[in-house]
Chains A and B, each alone.
Chain A
Amino acid sequence: MLSWLFRRKRIEQDLDAELRSHFEMAVADRIAAGEDPASARLAAKREFGNELQAREEARQVWRGGLVALLSDLWQDVRFGTRMLFKNPGFSFVVIAVLSLGIAGNAAIFSLFKGLALKPLPGVTDSSQLSVVLGRTIDGRGIGMSVPDYRDFKAADQAFANLSASQMIFASFGRGVDAQRIVAELVTGTYFDALGVTAQLGRTLSASDDVAPGQHPVAVISDTLWRQSLAADPAVIGKTIYLNGQPLTVVGVAEREFNGTVVSMGVDVFAPVMMQPVIAGPSRLDSRGIFSMMVRGQLKPGIGVAAANAQAELFTRQLTAEHPLTNFTRRYEVVPIWQSPFGAQTYFLPAIAVLGGMGVLILLIVCANVANLVLVRGLSRRGELGVRLALGASRARLVRLLLVENLILAIPGALAGVALASFILPYVAMGAASSAPSRVFLDTTVDGYVLLFAIGVAGACALVFGFVPALRASRLELTTALNDVSPRMAARGRMRAMLVVSQVAASLVLLVFAGLVLRSYAAAQHASGGFDATGVTSVAIDLQTAGYDEPRGRVLVNRLLDTIETEPAFSTGALAMNSPMSLVDGASRQTQIEGYAPRPDEDMLFLYNVVSPAYFQTLRIPLLAGRDFTRTDGPASQGVVIVNETLARRFWQSPADAIGKRLRSGGDWKIVVGVAGDLKYSRLSEAPRPFAYYSLLQHYVPAFAIQARATGDVSYAMRRVRDHMQSLDATIPIVKPTTLGEQTRAALNVYQLAASALTMFGVMTIVLAAIGIYGLVAYTVRQSTQEIGIRMAIGASRSAVVWTFLGRGTWLAGIGAVIGLVVAIAVSGAIASLLYGVGARDLVSFSGGTAVVMATALLASLLPAWRASRVDPLTALRRN
C-alpha cells in the first residue's frame, strides 16, 4: 500500500513536469515565430485544451483495476469519515439507532452461540460432536445402558473417539455444609476424547475406570475449586465427599470446561465405575437402565447418516443377542444440537422465534436509518449535484454513499455489541436464576458475536444506504443545483412508506410481546395439575449423613410424625422428585398384569416415590381409590398409585384400575389409587403415564420435605429447619426452597421470551414514534407557507392541528392494518412459546393496536401543535 502511494506520487510529479515542459516549448515556438510573449502564452494555453482531463486520463492509464478501486475506496473512506465528524448530530443518531438494533440481535445471537455453536465450552469443536442416543418407540430420547455402551464402543467403526457419562445430582461435602451440585460419572476416555486438560494435577484416564468401586478419584471443576475450595493450590490428593463417599482429588479441569450437559455447570467428575458407591444400586450391568449420555467426533468423511446406519445395525445385533432386555428402543446418532439432553431442547425454539423478531427489529432500524439518510440526502443534494457536474459517475456516487453508510455501521456494530454485553446478563441470568442447579451458558461476547454484529451492521448499511443512494444518484443536475424551492412534498412518499412499514413491524412485535407476556402470566398461574403455593420444598440427603436403610426408615417415620403434629403445616409429605422440575426424573420398565405389550411399545414410565398425604399436600386430585397410608409398610402388600393417563391406557376408567396389578422389577403391586395428571417436567408436555410408589415400602435416602403452610410459608420453612435440627443436626439440608420457587424453573422459557420480546417491543415502538414524529415534523416544516395561507384565509388553529394529526394517524392506521394482517398470518410461528393463550388472542391484538395508535397520535401531536403556532405573517413573508 505504502509503496503504491509513493509510486502514485512520483507519477503525478512526472506528469506535471511533462505537461509543463510541453507548454513551455509551445510558448517558445510561438515567440520564435514572432508573437509577443503575453499573447503567445495565451494562445498556447488555449491550444493546450483541457489539461485536467489529460492529466486524469494519463493518470488512469497507470492504475490497474484493483489499485484503482482501492485508491477510490480509500478516498471514499477518508471523505466519509470527515463527513461523519462534520455532522456529529446525524452520525450520533444513526449510530445510536443502529446500535439498539444490533444490541438486541447480538444478545440473541450470543444465546444461540452458547446453545448451538459453542454448546460445551472447553471442549474441542464441541458443535461438531455427535450424540448417540436411544429412542423409545414414542420418540422419546433416552441414554444408553452401560453394557450397551461397552458393546457399542467395541463394535464402533464410525467414531474417531467416543466417551460417555451420566449426570447425577449429588451432595458435595458433609453435614450441614453440604451443597447440591451436578456431577458426572464418566468413562475413562472422557477427558481425552473431549480434548479437555487439567490445569492442576491430571485428568481421569482409562486406568481409573476398570473395576467397580475400586477408583475413588475425582477431577473437580474450576468453579468448584475457586468457590468452595478457595482455589487451594495443594488440593491434589485431598479428599472430597460426594454423596458422603470419600474421593481423592487428582486434578482440576481447565478453566473453561463445565462438563457435557449443555447449559449446566458440572462440578465433579468421577469414574463411572464408582457409580454403585456414589449413586446407589449398581447400574453397571443392567441393560434396562439407560443412563449414559454418549458422544464423540465422527471420523473424517463419515457423516451422521453412515453413523446412523451403523447404530441401526448395532441395535439389530443387540436385539438378537439379548432379546429379553432389549425392547422398546433403538439407537441413533444425531448432531449435538439435536440432542434431547440439556437446555438447547427447550431454549432453541424460543431463540428461533426471538431471532425472527430480531430480524424484524433490524428492518425497523434500517427503515429508520434510511429515513435519516434520506433527509440528509436532501440537504446534500447540492453537494451531490456539484459532484455530478464535475464528472463523477453515478456508480462512483452510489459507492461513496454506501461507503459513508458502512462507516456509520461499524461504530454502530461496536456500540451494539457493547450494549448487548450489558443487557445480556439481565436477559439470560434472569431466566437462569430459578433453574434447578448452576446454569452455565457461554454467552460471553467473543469473536463469533463480534463478527456477527459487524456482518449484520454491514448488511444493514447496504440495505439502508442503497435506496437513498440510488435516489440521490438519480438526481437531475439542473434542479439539484438550483433547488431552493419547497416543493419537495412528493419526495415524502418514500419516507411515508418507511413510516408505514415501521408501524406495521412494531405492531407485529407488540402483538407477539403481548401474546408471550400473557402466556408468561398464564404460566405463572398455571397449576400444572397441582397447587404449589405455600408449600415448602426442603431437600435433605440421609445417605450423605451416613444413614443406612434401617436407620433411614426410622427417621422417615419420625419425620412424618413431626409433620403431622406441627401446627405451622396443615399437611405435609416427603417426595423423591418435585413436579415441573424441567428434567425428566427416574423412569422404570413397567409390566402390566394381563397385558402383552407390542414388541416395540414404550413401557418405560416415569415414577415418583412419595409418603402418605402427598396428594393432599400438593392438592392433586385422587380420581379413584385411596392415598398411601402409614400402614402400607415394608411388610404389607405392595401398593402403587397411577395417574389418569396410565389408568386409561390399560384399563377402561380410573375406577376400573383399582385392584389391578403392575410391577417394575420386584413383586406385583396393587393399584390402590388413581391421581390426576400433572406436568411432570414442563408445562408444554403432553400427558404421560406415571406411577407413584410408597416411600414406606420403597425406601430412597434423598427426598424433599413438602409441607403446606397454614400461614406464612417462610415461617413454615423455618419450622422445617428447626425440626431437622432437633431430629439430627448432621443431616445436610441440601436445598431449602419453596415448591413454587422450584417449579418456576419451568417458566424459564416464557420468562426469557417475555423479557426479550418486551424489550424489543419497547424498542420498536420508540423507533416508530421517532419515525412518525420525524415525518410529521418534516411535513410541517415543508408546509409552513401553506399553513400560513390557510390561516390567513381563516383556518382555525385547531383545524391546522387536526390536519397534521390526521396525516400522522392516517399513516399509522395503514401501518397498523398491514401489521395486523401480518401478525395474524405468522402468529402460528410462535405457538411453541404460547401457554394458555390462543395465537389470535384478542387482548394481545387489540392491546398492541391501541398502543401503536396512541403512540402515533402522541408522536404527531407535538409537531401538529407546533404547526398551529405558525404565525401567518412570518410564514408568508419567508419566501
Chain B
Amino acid sequence: MEPKRYRPRLEILQGTLDMLILQTLQWGPQHGYAIGQTIRTQSAESLKIETGSLYPALHRLEKQEWVKSDWRMTEANQRAKFYRLTPKGKKQLLQERDRWSQLVSAIGTILNPKRSKG
C-alpha cells in the first residue's frame, strides 16, 4: 500500500452545497449520483461530495420545496430518483448566487486591499 499523501482537500463551505446542487439541477432533472458526479467533474475533481452530505442535502431541499423528485428510468435503464428544480428553487438559486458573489467580492476586498482602492 502506498503511504497516504498529504493532499489539501477543498471543503465545501457550510451552506454552499445547497447552492451547488440547485445550480447543477438548472440544466435539467438529475439523480443523486449524477449530481455528485457533475459537481466533481465540473470542479475538476477538487470538490468531492460525500454521500452522507449529498442525500440529506437533497432531502432538505425537497422539504423546502426548492426541488421535486420522482422515480424514473436512467439511460442505462435503471430506476433512480430524479430531482428537478421548482420555480421556487430557481428563485432561491438566484438569491444564493447573489449572496455568494457578494461574499466573494467582500472576501476578495479583504484579501486584496489594493485593488479596492484603485
- Give Cα A368 to B13, complex, Å: 53
Q: Are B79 and A25 in contact (CB under 8 A)?
A: no
Say yes or no: is B31 at the interface (Cβ < 8 Å to chain A): yes
When distances are taken between beta carbons in the complex, the residues of chain A under 8 Å from B33 are 21-22, 25-26
Q: Does B10 contact A (CB under 8 A)?
A: no
A379 contacts which chain B residues (CB < 8 A)? none
CB contacts (< 8 Å) of A53 on chain B: these are 52
Q: Which of A15, A28, A54, A55 gathers most chain B CB within 10 Å?
A: A54
Question: CB of A62 within 8 A of chain B?
Answer: yes
Q: Knowing A25-B33, A25-B74, A61-B63 touch, does A18 contact B52 (C-beta < 8 A)? A: no
Residues on B with C-beta less than 8 A from A26 are: 33
7 inter-chain pairs at a CB distance below 8 angstroms, sorted by A residue, are A17-B81, A21-B31, A28-B78, A47-B51, A49-B50, A60-B56, A61-B56
How far, in whole Å, are A22 and B58 apart by their CA atoms in the complex?
13
User: Bound complex: CA of A49 vs CA of B36, how far in Å?
Assistant: 14
Q: Do the beta carbons of B59 and A21 come within 8 Å of each other?
A: no
Tell me the bound Cα distance from A26 to B76 in angstroms.
12
A405 to chain B, nearest CB (A): 34
Measured CB to CB, the closest approach of chain B to A56, in angstroms, equals 9
Q: Tell me which residues from 27 to 43 in chain A have a Cβ below 8 Å from any Cβ of chain B.
A: 28-29
The 5 closest A-B pairs by CB, nearest first: A57-B56, A54-B52, A61-B59, A25-B33, A21-B80
B29 is an interface residue with CB less than 8 A from chain A? no
Pick the residue among A14, A24, A29, A51 that contacts B51 (CB under 8 A): A51
Assess whether B63 is in contact with A62, with CB atoms less than 8 Å apart.
Answer: yes
Q: Is B100 part of the binding interface, using a Cβ–Cβ cutoff of 8 Å? A: no
Interface string of A57-93 (1 = CB under 8 A from B): 1101110000000000000000000000000000000
Q: Which residues of B contact A29 (CB under 8 A)?
A: 37
Q: Which residues of A contact B58 (CB under 8 A)?
A: 58
Chain B nearest CB from A33 CB (Å) reads 12
* Residues from 42 to 85 in B contacting A, C-beta threshold 8 Å: 50-56, 58-60, 63, 71, 74, 76, 78-81
- The answer on a CB contact under 8 Å between B52 and A50 is yes
* A48 contacts chain B at the CB level, 8 A cutoff: yes
A19 within 8 A of B: yes
| Given the contacts A18-B32, A19-B51, A25 and B78 also touching, CB distance less than 8 Å | yes
Asked if residues B32 and A54 are in contact (CB atoms below 8 Å), the reply is: no
**Which B residues touch A19, using CB under 8 A?**
51, 55
B27 CB to closest chain A CB (Å) equals 18
Among residues of B, the one whose C-beta sits closest to the C-beta of A54 is B52
The answer on a CB contact under 8 Å between A49 and B52 is yes
Q: Could you give, for residues 736-764 of chain A, a 1 whenever the CB lies within 8 Å of some chain B CB and a 0 otherwise?
A: 00000000000000000000000000000
Contacts of A61 in B (CB 8 A): 56, 59-60, 63
User: Are A58's CB and B81's CB within 8 A?
Assistant: no
Minimum CB–CB distance from B7 to chain A (whole Å) comes to 16
Closest Cβ–Cβ distance, residue B52 to chain A (whole Å): 4
Please, which residues of chain B bring their CB within 8 A of the CB of A25? 31, 33-34, 74, 76, 78, 80
* A residues less than 8 Å from B80 (CB atoms): 18, 21-22, 25
- Across the interface, do B81 and A54 meet the contact criterion of CB distance under 8 Å? no
Known: A18-B55, A21-B33. 10 other contacts (CB 8 A): A15-B55, A15-B59, A18-B80, A21-B79, A22-B33, A28-B76, A28-B78, A47-B51, A51-B52, A53-B52
A21 with B56: CB separation less than 8 A: no
Q: Is the interface of A mostly helix, strand, loop or mixed?
A: helix
Known: A22-B32, A62-B63. A57 touches B52 (CB 8 A): yes
Residues on A with beta carbons closer than 8 Å to the beta carbon of B60: 61
CB-nearest residue of chain B relative to A48? Answer: B51
Chain A residues positioned under 8 Å from B79 (CB to CB): 17, 21
Give A490 to B15 CA distance when docked, in angstroms.
Answer: 48
- Given the complex, which residues of B lie within 8 Å of A58, measured CB to CB? 55-56, 58-59
CB-CB under 8 A from B32, the residues of chain A are: 18, 22
**Pick the contact of B59 from A22, A24, A49, A62 — CB < 8 Å?**
A62
- B38 to A: closest C-beta gap in Å: 13
Q: Which residues of A contact B76 (CB under 8 A)?
A: 25, 28
B31 to chain A, nearest CB (A): 7
Q: Which residue of the partner chain B has the closest CB to A53?
A: B52
Q: Is the CB of A54 within 8 A of B78?
A: no
Residues of chain B within 8 A of A54, CB atoms compared: 50-56
Most buried by B among A14, A51, A58, A62: A58
A18, B81: Cβ atoms under 8 Å? yes
Min C-beta distance of B83 to chain A, whole Å: 10
* Alpha-carbon distance A62/B55, docked complex (angstroms): 12
CA distance A50 to B56 in the complex (A): 12
Flag A805-838 by CB within 8 Å of B: 1 or 0 each. 0000000000000000000000000000000000
Cβ B78 vs Cβ A24 within 8 A: yes
Residues of chain A lying within 8 A (CB to CB) of residue B81: 14, 17-18, 21
Separation in Å of the A296 CB from the closest CB of chain B?
60
A676 to B76 Cα, complex, angstroms: 115
CA–CA, A53 to B51, complex, Å? 9
Q: Chain A residues near B50 (CB, 8 Å)?
A: 49, 54
Residues on the B chain within 8 Å of A14, using CB: 81
Report the separation of the CA atoms of residues A135 and B65 in the bound assembly, to the nearest whole angstrom: 74
- Interfacial chain A residues near B54, Cβ < 8 Å: 54
CA distance in complex: A365, B88 (Å): 59
In the complex, what residues of B have CB within 8 A of residue A18's CB?
32, 55, 80-81
Q: Which residue of B lies closest to A26 (CB)?
A: B33
A60 contact set on B, CB distance < 8 A: 56
| Closest Cβ neighbor of A52 among chain B residues | B52
Distance between Cα atoms of A49 and B78 in the complex (Å): 22
CA distance A26 to B55 in the complex (A): 15
* Binary contact track B83-107/A, C-beta < 8 Å → 1, others 0: 0000000000000000000000000
Chain B residues numbered 10-41 whose CB sits less than 8 Å from any CB in chain A: 31-34, 37
**Distance A822 CA – B8 CA, assembled complex (angstroms):** 69
Which residues from chain A contact B78 at a C-beta distance below 8 Å? 21, 24-25, 28
Smallest beta-carbon distance A14→chain B, Å: 7
Shortest Cβ gap from A54 to chain B (Å):
4
Residues of B within 8 A of A21 (CB): 31, 33, 78-81
Inside 8 A of A22's CB, which chain B residues have their CB?
31-33, 51, 55, 80
Residues from chain A with a CB closer than 8 A to the CB of B31 are 21-22, 25
Closest Cβ neighbor of B35 among chain A residues: A22
> A88 CB to closest chain B CB, in angstroms?
42
Neighbouring A residues of B52 by C-beta, 8 Å: 49-51, 53-54, 57
Chain A residue at minimum C-beta to C-beta distance from B80: A21
A538 to B115, CA, bound (A): 117
Residues in chain B near residue A49, CB distance under 8 A? 50-52
Bound-state CA distance A33–B89 (Å) is 34
Q: Which residues of B are found within 8 Å of A47, using beta-carbon distances?
A: 51
Q: Which residue of A lies closest to B64 (CB)?
A: A61
The chain A residue with its CB closest to the CB of B58 is A58
- Distance in Å: Cβ of A67 to nearest Cβ of chain B: 13
In whole angstroms, how far apart are the Cα atoms of A60 and B74 in the complex? Answer: 28
* A338-395 residues at the B interface, CB under 8 angstroms: none
| Complex: A61 Cα to B53 Cα, angstroms | 12
Q: Which of the listed residues B34, B55, B76, B79 has the most CB atoms from chain A within 10 Å of its own CB?
A: B55
Point out which of B51, B54, B56, B71 has the most chain A C-beta atoms below 10 A from its C-beta: B51
Query: Closest CB of chain B to A469's CB: distance in Å?
Result: 30
